[in-house]
A and B are shown apart, each in its own frame.
Chain A
Amino acid sequence: MTGDLGWVSGALALLSFLLVCTLAMRRVALAHAERRRLSTEERLRPIALALVEGESLDLPSLGAYESRALARVLARYARQVSGTALAHIGDFFEAHGHIAREVALLKSRRAWRRASAAHSLGGMASRTAIPALMEGATSGSC
C-alpha cells in the first residue's frame, strides 16, 4: 500500500512538473509574441502617423500580421485624436475592408467575438459602422 502511494506521489509530482513547464513555455511564447508586436508597431508607427495626418503615401505591401498591427496602432490613435485626423483613420479602415469585416463579426454566434468586434469598431472611428453598432446594442447582442 505504501509502495502504491509512492507511485501516486511520483505521478502527481510529474503532473505538477508538466503543468508548471506548460505554464513556463506559454509565458515564454507570450513574451516572444509581445516583443514581436512591439517591434512591428514601432516599425509601422511612421506609416500610421502619416495616415493620421492625411498624407498621401503608397502603402507598402503589408502581410496579414502587419496589417493587423497597423490597425491596432491606428485604433489607439483614434481614441486620442479628433476632427480630420479621426476622419482619416476612419477612411483608412473603410478603404481596407476592416469595417466590413468587423461589422460581419457583430453577428457572430460567440458573445466574446461580438464584444471584441464592437470594441474594435469603436476604435476605428467610422460613421458607417454606427447603424450596425446601434442595431447590436438595441438587440442586446453586443
Chain B
Amino acid sequence: MLAVPSFFLLEIVGPLIELVGYPAVIAGSALGFLSLTFLLAFAMVAVLVGAVLSVAALALEEFNFRRYQRGREAARLLVMALAENLGYRQLSRLGGC
C-alpha cells in the first residue's frame, strides 16, 4: 500500500523531476528569473539533505549489520557517502533515465 506509491514517486518520478530541474534552474538563472544568492543557498540545502541521508543510511548499516569490519573501510564509505552528492548522484540520475 505504501511501498509501491513511494517507490513510484521517489524512484521513477523523482529522477525525472530532478533531471528537468537542472536545466530549468540553469535557464532561469541565465535569464535572470532566479536570485543567485537564493540559488546557492538552495543548492547548499539540497546537497546537505543528500549528505544527511547518506550518513544516516551509513549509521543504520553500522549499528545494525556492521558489514565493514575495518575502520578504514568505514572511513572510505563515509567519504563516498558525502562525495556522492557532488556530481555522482546527478550523473547516476542521468544514467537511470
Contact = CB atoms under 8 A, between A and B. Distances in A.
Nearest to A17: B55
Contacts of B71: 27, 31
Interface stretch (B3-11, B14-22, B42-50): B42-50
Q: Could you tell me the dominant secondary structure of chain B's interface residues?
A: helix
Contacts, number: 48
A50 B34 CA distance: 78
A16 B56 CA distance: 8
Contacts of A83: none
A15 interface: yes
Interface residues of B, number: 22
A2 B42 CA distance: 8
Given A12-B51, A13-B48, A5 B42 contact: yes
B29 to A, nearest CB: 15
B70 to A, nearest CB: 10
Contacts of B63: 26
B91 interface: no
Contacts of A30: 66
A5 B45 contact: yes
A1 B42 CA distance: 10
Interface of B: 35, 37-38, 41-42, 44-45, 48-49, 51-52, 55-56, 58-59, 62-63, 66, 71, 74, 78, 82
Query: What 7 A-B pairs are tightest by C-beta distance, nearest first?
Result: A12-B48, A5-B41, A19-B55, A9-B44, A2-B41, A2-B38, A16-B51
